[in-house]
Amino acid sequence: LPGRVGLIVEYRGTRYCGWQLQPNGVSIQQLLEEAFRRMTGLKTRMQAAARTDSGVHARGQLVAFENPSRHGPERLREGLNFYLPPEVAVLEAFQVAEDFDPRRAAVGKHYRYTLLCRRAQPVFEAGLVYHCPYPLDAPAMQRAAFMAEGEHDFSAFRAADDENHTAVRRLDLCRWRAEPPRLVLEVFGRGFLKQMIRNLVGTMLQIGRRRWPAEKMAELLSSGDRRRAGPTAPASGLCLMRVFTDEESYRENLRLAAESINLPVR
């Protein structure tokens, strides 16, 4: 038997309730497990490196599962894609060690949040960005993003039902890049709290609209008070770009992303 299999999965999360199986709504996990069952007639349980929320997209989710069928990775990739809806695709499939756990194997993750800053509605990127038809103070947003970099207690930016023991996390990169008419937040880190990035973006949008000064970000990080932070930014703008299982590759991609930042921190 081929044994345990890893997958790189891409999905448009709009119509789904996130990665994890849910009593109400269809999850990406359910779609993948059902595709496997329809292909092989066998049951399996899939695990992912990141539990993306409802509506969040992924270009590089890392998934692993026990493969009780006789199909090898390549056949599985083709077969799963045949049974998956057009919003989900398996990009790669490969054998992994019997004890491979995608959550524990992940040494870092790259997330991206994309704002479309123009009056006209999104056409080509409908559902894949958050549309901001009002002017934004990008330099102030960049100062706020820079304050969130490094190690902090992110209590003010965790979801109410976040179950992690500690809210201390380290962001290795949290910086906006201008790609007119887009503003793109690149985030690299080893671990995240539930809705942490969307909550950070929600506060940065308040700062961008000049409702709050950039310094409010530092203040919120110190206070740890969720009620004083901004609203959660919409899921449509967030995408899990990549999960790294290799330290060197994480550092190299972090370096390249940092080099791509074209808005200075003034």
Residue 88 is a binding residue for a second copy (CB under 8 A): yes
Collapsed DSSP state (helix, strand, coil) of residue 246: coil
Q: How far is the CB of 131 from a second copy (least distance, A)?
A: 11
CA–CA separation, 87 and 42 (whole Å):
23
Question: Of 87 and 149, which CB lies nearer to a second copy in the complex structure?
Answer: 87
Half-sphere exposure of 243 (CA within 13 A, CB side): 25
- Interacting residues of 39 by C-beta distance below 8 A, sequence separation 6+: 69, 71, 76, 79, 80, 82, 83
Give the other-Cβ count within 10 Å of 7's Cβ: 23
Of the candidates 4, 51, 59, 190, which one interacts with a second copy according to CB under 8 A? 59
For 211, list phi and psi in degrees, rounded to 5.
Answer: -85, -30
Collapsed DSSP state (helix, strand, coil) of residue 76: helix
Residue 90 is a binding residue for a second copy (CB under 8 A): yes
Residue 11 is a binding residue for a second copy (CB under 8 A): yes
Beta bridge partners of 95: 5
Of the candidates 42, 97, 126, 168, which one interacts with a second copy according to CB under 8 A? 126
Question: Of 68 and 85, which CB lies nearer to a second copy in the complex structure?
Answer: 85
Of the candidates 91, 97, 168, 258, which one interacts with a second copy according to CB under 8 A? 91
Of the candidates 87, 137, 162, 219, which one interacts with a second copy according to CB under 8 A? 87
Question: Of 70 and 118, which CB lies nearer to a second copy in the complex structure?
Answer: 118
Question: Of 58 and 196, which CB lies nearer to a second copy in the complex structure?
Answer: 58
Collapsed DSSP state (helix, strand, coil) of residue 249: helix
Residue 121 is a binding residue for a second copy (CB under 8 A): yes
Question: Of 174 and 235, which CB lies nearer to a second copy in the complex structure?
Answer: 235
Question: How far is the CA of 6 from the CAs of 2, 60, 111, 196, in angstroms?
Answer: 12, 12, 20, 27
Residue 12 is a binding residue for a second copy (CB under 8 A): yes
Q: How far is the CB of 141 from a second copy (least distance, A)?
A: 23
| Strand 57-65 with 238-244, pairing | parallel
- Active site includes 53? yes
Q: How far is the CB of 261 from a second copy (least distance, A)?
A: 20
CA–CA separation, 217 and 197 (whole Å):
13
Structure-token match 């940092």, residue found = 258
Collapsed DSSP state (helix, strand, coil) of residue 122: coil
Number of residues that bind a second copy (CB under 8 A): 23
Q: How far is the CB of 120 from a second copy (least distance, A)?
A: 4
Residue 129 is a binding residue for a second copy (CB under 8 A): no
Residues annotated as part of the active site? 53
| Site residues for a second copy per CB under 8 A | 10-12, 57, 59, 77-78, 81, 86-91, 118-124, 126, 128
